Amino acid sequence: MSSHMNEASTLRQIRLILLLFVVALFISGATAIPLRFELRILDSIAGEGTSIARIWPSLARWVTRVRDALEELTDKHPFVAYGYDWLAFGHFAIAVIFLGAVRDPVRNRWIVEAGMIACALVVPYAIVFGQIRGIPIFWRAIDTVFGIVGFIPLWYVRRKLVRLEASQGTFK
């Protein structure tokens, strides 16, 4: 197989991974908007009084506590939910930026690297601010997983991009 065909195949693979990353960012952002509805569902599945509560009571208590707090807060102060709308917007904006990397991954490798840095920062951010805000350790662990899971495909893409640049003689 020719070098050009390998490069084209590698670029397709990179673009596919980045496109999946964009979709994941978009979905993640979209889930922040109907949070009250989603928490009601989660509470019915994993909150107090469910079968999960018998297996993992601290998780069930936490889920119900969060649902109750969000219900009370949004009933009394609905404008606070606007923060979740902005959280969603942030995910959407980052997804749009990643479309630049999908379009031209070699030229926009910096986007991939910035994404890797952001994913890596999720871990200490969740640990430190989760502790400050009283978030249980098991929930902080879940949050850190998002950073790790996001980092892995971006690291893979970056590795492929560096190799591709080296083969093209365009290494930066």
Q: For the segment 95-135, what is each residue's pLDDT rounded down to a tens digit?
A: 999 999 999 999 999 999 999 999 999 999 999 999 999 99
Q: How many CA atoms lie within 13 A of 36 on its CB side?
A: 14
What total number of domains does the chain contain? 1
Dist. CA 46–CA 87, nearest whole Å: 24
Give helix 82-103 / helix 3-30 axis angle, nearest 10°. 170
Q: What is this structure's pTM?
A: 0.89
**Tens of pLDDT, residues 49-98:** 999 999 999 999 999 999 999 999 999 999 999 999 999 999 999 999 99
Q: Which domain holds residue 129?
A: 3-168
What is the predicted pLDDT for the residue at 171? 53
